[in-house]
Structure 1
Amino acid sequence: MEKKPQTILFLLLVFSFGAAQNSTARKVEEFHVGVILDLGSLVGKVSRTSISLAVEDFYSVHQNYRTKLAIHIKDSMGNEVQAASAAIDLLENYKVQAIIGPQKSSEATFISKLGSIKQVPIISFTATSPALTHDSFPYFVRATLNDSVQVNGIVSLIKAYGWREVVLVYDDTEYGRGILPHLVNALQQIDAHVPYRSAIPLSATSENIMQELYKLMAMQTRVFIVHMSSTRASLIFTKAKEAGMMDKGFVWIVTDGVANIVDSLNLSVIEAMNGVIGTRFYVPRLQEHDTSFLIRWNRMYRQFNPNELPLDKPSIFGLWAYDTVWALSQAAEKVGVSRNKNKRLQSSKNSTSLDLLAVSTDGPELLKEILHNKFRGLSGNFDLTDRQLPVYALQIINVVGRSWKHIGFWTLKNGLSRQLNQNGLKITGPASMLELNPVIWPGESTEIPRGWEIPASGDKLKVGVPTSAYPEFVQTSKDPVTNATRVVGLSIDIFEEVVKRLPFALSYEYQAFDTIDATSSTSYNDFVHQVYLQRYDIAIGDITIIYSRTPYVDFTIPYTESGVGMIVPVKETVKKNIWIFSKPLSKGMWFGSIMFTMYTTIVVWILEHLNGNTHLHGPFSLRQLEILMSFSIFEEKEKLKCILSRLVLLVWMFVFLVLASSYTASLASMLTVQQLSPMFTDIRELQKQGGYVGFHRGSYIEGLLVDIGFDRSKIRSYAPDEFRIALSNGGEHGGVAALVLDVPYIKLFLAKYCRGYTMVGPIYKSAGFAFALPKRSPLLAEISRAIINITGGDTIIQIEKKWIDQNDCQNEEKIDGSDSAITFDSFGGLFLLTGFVTTCSIPVALLMNHYKKDQQKVLTKQDEPNNQRYAQKGENSHIQDGNEGNEENGDCGDIDNQGRILVPHSPNRNGDLLGDCTQNNRVTATTHFGSDFIHMEGEASMSQSCS
């Protein structure tokens, strides 16, 4: 029993020795990884904490792994040279198999090139420059997203809010310039202009930044896109608030470089950024079970940065850093640690230290495993298959107070929306600002900024005015005292009325356009071109919108009538046409009238034939047609007997009377109007006849006439005061047969000389007169909107009456040479009335005729027993003869013609009064009393009725 404790002690020693042997056998090998960060920046501090915590968390979960990352962190101090030196040091002294970082895109360019040569994967979660591509750097992996991904989201905001001009403010670095080509191209696709690019160099001081901001403030554009590092952006917004550029009317949009770390910025910077909107890469919120991660992360952050204020949570860059370590740890485990980790190149006399660096033998396999590794990380789906993270969604935020609020989302597939769901975006219509949550703009304004303003401290708007040949439109003069330009005219009144209706104050001054020859053919083209050359901010006057001018300027909507017409003399002629009597009625009207006449005739014949009119009895004949077509029977015996026929005829005669009256009035009007007709109604006709045509000297009409086909020898130019003389002389006496002018000029001419001239056309489509502004001018939409307001009301009429003395004769002699015939549709109601009455009369007549026949059958059955009794006795032969006479003359169907009267003589005797219907309307009655006969004769009137 005493040896038992010794035995147990021996067994424990053996077990401990075996465990030690197993532990030695499973020794974990280190996989060296370098990290290059700017440890003095906020992103560097957050990333360092996340990387260290990721290594600790990963291997606490995977305790049985044979490899373990050995992290070697180097500080780049925000300098490209220092970052390159750190990379060489890591490769040479630490033999790292991969490098996480560097932090800046400019640093990543050299290090990625070095990694591609030495086959060492370079994984960066902060270098977002589009210039870093795997084609140029095959061993570069972007554990973040390309800056160009957010371009479409930003442009969608610009389009949704309707802003037309944008100023770009960016760092003058590779990071800042990298996004510009993509952003400018996307803005051009939505017709948004970039009038200025503000590049802020790294050497710029606070004074330099203030000078640049004052320069931006003097511009009209009020929409700024800021693409800078968080450090530079903080300085920009602080100074912008001092300059008064964070007030109402301004729009500031920041890219992901700032929006992603808004939570980590200084409170004074966040307060200065109030009203800013930005786009950031969307990351699903951490779940409640990740609370322990936040606690551990904050504890480690305080350990590394004891003098810094604590952070609530890591930024998106911290989450990407954490997931990057997990991805690299899994890839390292699959690759393992090779004994011959690096293969050193042979040295030569001219070799540099870079040439002496070893090439990693495990680099290709490690890169392959990194790209194939997919998992669900803290930042979402971590998938580097395309050498960068997939684009899921962009979140749009608005900085308010000391934090930010959610505005909406953007995705490549569905655009803008307020919320996300499992199936994608909730889209109810085209992307617009109405689908986003309300924004609090700078100056705590809820009103959407216009995106541009007229600077209060800027120069006055330079308004160019030409020397017009029509003083009614524009007339310029110089003030002898102040030497200022004075202008009057219809175009000037419209422009000044437009300025009154703008939603903002507009300070401007007139500047006369001086030229050697104001009537030269190129004077107005030169005048419009001055806007393109930025001599004028806007050009007003009688400027026609033509295509050749549109590449240089933008035109407002026209404020006058559009089109080009002809002024031609009128001649007094009597148009000789033997068929002019047929012109008042259209072909459809003639056809309809004839068909209704025939239809009414046939119905009247049917009605009279059904009711026994002796003049229309029997087969249809020419005599019956003559009676019916005349609708009037002159002889008394030929009058219509049926009341339905007379009703149908009465309605038709009313329609015929109205039609005849209209025909007479239309024919008289047509004959009167045709006494005045234009000399020419078609410019092609004038061109074929070789006539002379005139136009306003210096107008674009000359080119139009040449395009139509006129020979230049047949085209003559005149000043406005020579128009009437040219038309009076005619083409054979040194004048012209017609003048081709813009419609507003024609109205002005006819207002003065309305007798003997008229307008033909418009013969050509033109857009009319308008104002010219620079391309993509922010004033264009506002001025056009004001012009619509003016031309849609009574204001334009009053202005035209003031400058163009219009009178009635202008309208009287405006002849188009067309005859207006009466159409069938004009009398549709009347034809419908007569057709309805005529059609309904036929079934009514048939029903009444059927009723009359039924009554006759009943009476016939009642008479048959008496007729048989007297026929058997043979007592009254002349009664039978009378019956035979009735059969010969026909049955009229009237009770008055029956003539049969029953006269009672005594209770025991019956008497019958038998009558005979004869042609001369006499009735003979015989009364029988027993064996005696009493003969009675008398007159009885015969009548027939259709009813």
Structure 2
Amino acid sequence: MSAIPKSTEDFQISKALMKLMTMQTRVFVVYMNTALVSRLFALADQNGMMSKGYAWIITAGLSNSLNVLDSDVVDSMDGVLGVRSHLESSVFEIINVIGNGRVVGYWTPEKGISQNIGSNYKNGLKQIIWPGDSTTTPTGWAIPSLKIGVPVKLGFPEFVEQRKNGNKTTYTGFSIDVFSTVSETLNKDLGFKVLHNFIGFEDETGLMDGSYDDLLLQIKNKVQANLFSHLVLAKDDNRENMWIFLKPWTWDLWLTVGELVVRDCSRFVLVVWLWLAFILMQSYNASLSSILTIDKLEPTFDNLERLRTKDHFIGFQRGCFVGNLLEKQFNFSRSQLKSYGTIQEYHEALSNGSKNRGVTAIFDEIPYVRVFLKAYDSQYTTAGLIYRTVGFGFAFLKESPLFSYFSKVILLVREIETKMDEIEKRYFGEKVTSATLAPTIYTESSSLRAYNFGGLFIIAGMATLLAITVSERFIWQRPVALVRQYLTSNHPANGIELAAQPTAETDAGDHSSEVHQASGNSGRISVHIKEDIAVE
């Protein structure tokens, strides 16, 4: 409340108005005589307090005296609301000072505020023209000037980047553009302008003066919301393994099947080649399905309990709140935690692994994770749950009315996809701030190559050669018999000597000597026939 005596000079009234301007409130109730009020509104108009975002309400005495004020004074009061008595004592008119005042509604003890008092009762007020010829209802308050603390860091310039040019310091990035867009929307749609000044949170050397928590400690009862996840090194793509076809069965099942088919060589070879054809056919179907859908990278580590062992180191963004969260809420040892500042450092640490002075996993906020995955999408993926906690966003005092308005306008800006998409594409080329963290997509070709089935072809070839080698019936006996037959039929003597056993009808002694003599004379090839032969 500001009391202005009747004898107050104009400069004193202006000083009182300036004091009101430094306050957050933008709604003023005026209770004074007509002589003083004529000076008040003229000076308020000169100081810009009869503009968009302000609301002035005059009491019944002034509302009933509008017709005695100079026209210039009344013109300076455009947009003021007033209350005056109606013909009936229990009814009050609510007027909007446009000219001599237009009635925008009524108030009665029985019905409260309404647009009329007749039989056509309608709740609420008619359209009000506020100061500055605005039809937007003022919020009733304003922030004279905001000091915005900006974290200064080397990594992730897509979000916030500080640039110094002599004595001039500018700030760019996704977060800065979102804040500026929200401020512009507040001014356009809600009728008040947020004046702000960006201040870098840095020390004398130009580096960040502490952590995010240190920055937020300067704002009591901070209110924020955020999502974060963790990164791990992805396993090698299985399509680069020629023995992948063995994975569908365990080794004991492979051995069991082998025993069933190895008893017969021809059947074994047939089964191997049928198996080869079947796997090729199924692999084609699977590869085609993979091309038409999504190939997922498989994480090397997705168990939070195993990460807590002393054999594993965990990374987080330097200065981020996640470090304290991992220690206090997720029960990681402080000696396990390592901080990094850039995506290049993330890549090096994850590539080296815990055994080579790196880390097994890195925990960070989702927008930063998306930026990293965009740069190294074929090598890393996310694993485990997405955890909700404080972090990424704008921080305000809990009692600040700006908090709720900023939240509403941020949602409004996100609903207008062109605005947010334009900002995100400007810095990232794609969406990075959605709550759902989509799996990393393998960007190379999903087509299968001959190499993918190298192991299968090796097994099939070896099985065929082995079957041919052990099958003596086909590899040795048949060719030898054919050779012998050929050599016998082409002997120089053109004759075949028979060594025969005598029968009961033959003189064994005489015939036997002839046979032996003949054998002795020719003596090169002798085919022994086991069956008895009758010689006449």
TM superposition score normalised by structure 1: 0.34
Aligned pairs for 1:568-647 (under 5 A) are 568-572=232-236, 576=247, 578=249
Kept in 1, the 8 Å contact 2:378–2:441? The answer is: no
Match for residue 115 of structure 2 among 394, 418, 433: 418
Query: Is the counterpart of residue 678 in structure 1 residue 299 in structure 2?
Result: yes
Decide which of 137, 153, 158 is 1:472's aligned counterpart: 158
Question: 437, 443, 446: which is aligned to 2:126?
Answer: 437
User: C-alpha separation between the residues in 2 aligned to 1:663 and 1:262?
Assistant: 91
> Which residue does 2:321 correspond to in 1?
700
Q: Is the 8 A contact 1:441 1:447 kept in 2?
A: yes
**Aligned equivalent of 2:423, options 781, 787, 796:** 796
Give 3-state SS (helix, strand or coil) of 2:231's partner: strand
For the pair 1:485 / 2:169, whether they are aligned, the reply is: yes
For 1:209, which of 13, 17, 30 is the aligned residue?
A: 13
Aligned twin of 1:512: 200
**What is residue 811 of structure 1 aligned with on the other side?**
441
1:738 shift after superposition = 1.1
Secondary structure, in 3 states, of the residue corresponding to 2:319?
Answer: coil
* Per-residue deviation, residues 368-427 of structure 1 (Å, max 9, x unmatched): xxxxxxxxxxx35xxxxxxxxxxxx6542223323x3321235688654312357x9644
TM-fit CA distance, 1:706: 3.5
Per-residue deviation, 1:467: 0.8
Cα offset, 1:745, TM superposition: 1.6
Give yes or no for contact 1:757–1:813 (8 Å, CA) kept in 2.
Answer: no
Cα 1:768–1:446 change in 2 (3 A) is same
Alpha-carbon RMSD: 5.0
Alignment match of 1:776 (pick from 401, 416, 423): 401
Between the aligned residues of both structures, percent identity stands at 31
Contact 1:693 1:714 (8 Å CA) reproduced: no
What's the counterpart of residue 448 of structure 1? 136
- In the aligned structure 1, how far is the partner of 2:296 from the partner of 2:77? 79
How far off is 1:742 after superposition? Answer: 0.8
- The answer (yes or no) to whether the contact 2:92–2:106 under 8 Å persists in 1 is yes
Give the equivalent residue in structure 2 for 1:549. 222
Distance verdict in 2 for CA 1:680–1:472, change over 3 Å:
same
1:742: which partner in 2? Answer: 365
Q: Give the match's secondary structure for 1:811.
A: coil
Give, in whole Å, the separation in 2 of the partners of 1:274 and 1:714: 68
- Partner secondary structure for residue 229 of structure 2: strand
1:669 and 1:689 map into 2 onto residues whose CA distance is 41
Alignment partner of 1:409 is 2:106: yes
Q: Distance in 2 between matches of 1:227 and 1:517?
A: 56
Q: Which residue of 2 aligns with 1:223?
A: 27
Superposed displacement of residue 788, structure 1: 5.1
Q: What residue in structure 1 maps to residue 511 of structure 2?
A: none
Q: 1:686 to 1:478 in 2, by over 3 A?
A: same
- The one-letter amino acid paired with 2:231 is I
Tell me the CA shift for residue 678 of structure 1.
0.9
The 3 A distance-change label for structure 1 pair 490 and 236 is closer
Structure number with greater Rg is: 1
Note closer, same or farther for the CA distance 1:719–1:267 as it changes in structure 2 (3 Å cut).
same
On the 8 A contact 1:520/1:697 being kept in 2, the answer is no
* Match of residue 350 from structure 2: 727
Task: Measure the CA separation in 2 of the matches of 1:239 and 1:486.
Answer: 37
Is the 1:513–1:527 Cα contact (8 Å) retained in structure 2?
yes
Q: How many residues align?
A: 388
Counterparts of 2:203 and 2:47 in 1: how far apart (Å)? 43
Q: Is the 8 A contact 1:691 1:714 kept in 2?
A: no
Deviations 1:706-744 (A, max 9, x none): 454323346413123432333234334543321111112
Could you say if the C-alpha distance between residues 477 and 211 of structure 1 is closer, same or farther in structure 2, counting changes exceeding 3 Å? Answer: same
In the TM superposition, residue 764 of structure 1 has moved relative to its aligned partner by 0.8
**Hey, what's the Cα distance between the residues in 2 that align with 1:234 and 1:246?**
14
Task: Please give the per-residue CA displacement for 1:827-880, whole angstroms capped at 9, x wherever unaligned.
Answer: xxxxxxxxxxxxxxxxxxxxxxxxxxxxxxxxxxxxxxxxxxxxxxxxxxxxxx
In the alignment, is the contact (CA less than 8 A) between 1:478 and 1:485 conserved in 2?
Answer: yes
Partner Cα separation in structure 2 for residue 440 and residue 267 of structure 1:
21
- CA distance in 2: counterparts of 1:412 and 1:741, whole angstroms: 59
Determine the structure 2 residue equivalent to 1:524: 212
Whole-Å separation in 2 of the counterparts to 1:800 and 1:772: 22
Preserved CA contact (<8 Å) 2:52 2:134: no
* Pair 1:520–1:398, CA change in 2 (3 A): closer
Compared with structure 1, are the counterparts of its residues 761 and 436 closer, same or farther at alpha carbon in structure 2 (3 Å cutoff)?
Answer: farther
Helix, strand or coil at the partner of 1:563: strand
Task: Identify if the C-alpha distance between structure 1 residues 668 and 784 changes in structure 2 by more than 3 Å, giving closer, same or farther.
Answer: closer
Rate the CA distance shift 1:398–1:549 in 2: closer, same or farther, 3 A. same
Structure 1 residue matching 2:97: 3-state secondary structure: strand
Structure 2: distance between partners of 1:734 and 1:257: 81
Paired residues for 1:44-193 under 5 Å: 170=1
Q: Take 1:666 and 1:758, find their aligned partners in 2: how far apart are those partners? A: 22
Name stretches of at least 5 consecutive residues in structure 2 with no aligned partner: 239-243, 251-280, 433-438, 445-536
Q: What does 1:189-588 correspond to in 2, within 5 Å?
A: 198-200=2-4, 204-216=8-20, 222-228=26-32, 233-241=37-45, 243=47, 245-246=49-50, 250-256=54-60, 258-259=62-63, 261-262=64-65, 266-267=69-70, 270=74, 272-280=76-84, 285=87, 379-380=89-90, 395-402=93-100, 404-410=101-107, 416-420=113-117, 426-427=122-123, 435-442=124-131, 445=133, 447-448=135-136, 450=138, 464-470=149-155, 471-480=157-166, 483-492=167-176, 494=178, 503=188, 510-515=198-203, 523-528=211-216, 532=219, 549-550=222-223, 563-572=227-236, 576=247, 578=249
One-letter amino acid matched to 2:222? R
The answer as to whether partners of 1:517 and 1:523 remain within 8 angstroms in 2 is no
- Letter aligned with residue 739 of structure 1: I
Query: Is structure 2 residue 440 aligned with structure 1 residue 756?
Result: no
Q: Does 1:712 align with 2:308?
A: no
Distance 1:723 1:463 in 2: 29
> Aligned equivalents of 1:731 and 1:495: distance in 2?
39
Query: Which letter maps to 1:418?
Result: Q
AA at the equivalent of 1:699: C
Q: 1:783 to 1:450 in 2, by over 3 A?
A: farther
Amino acid at match of 1:795: E
Structure 1 unmatched runs, 5+: 1-169, 171-197, 287-378, 381-392, 428-434, 534-547, 580-660, 815-947
Matched residue type, 1:549: K
* CA displacement 1:886-921 (0-9 Å, x = unmatched): xxxxxxxxxxxxxxxxxxxxxxxxxxxxxxxxxxxx
Residues 489 and 803, structure 1, Cα contact 8 Å, conserved in 2: no
* Structure ranking higher on relative contact order (CA contacts 8 Å, 6+ apart): 2
Counterpart Cα distance in 2 of 1:688 and 1:813: 34
Residue 272 of structure 1: CA displacement?
A: 4.7
TM (norm. structure 2) is 0.56
The question of whether the paired residues in 2 share the 8 Å contact of 1:563 and 1:742 is answered with yes
For the structure 1 residues 213 and 762, does the alpha-carbon distance in structure 2 shift closer, same or farther, using more than 3 Å as the test? same
In structure 2, how many angstroms separate the alpha carbons of the residues matched to 1:505 and 1:246?
A: 15
Q: Distance in 2 between matches of 1:210 and 1:519?
A: 44
Residues 578 and 518 from structure 1, CA distance in 2 versus in 1: closer, same or farther, beyond 3 angstroms? farther
3-state SS, counterpart of residue 571 of structure 1: coil
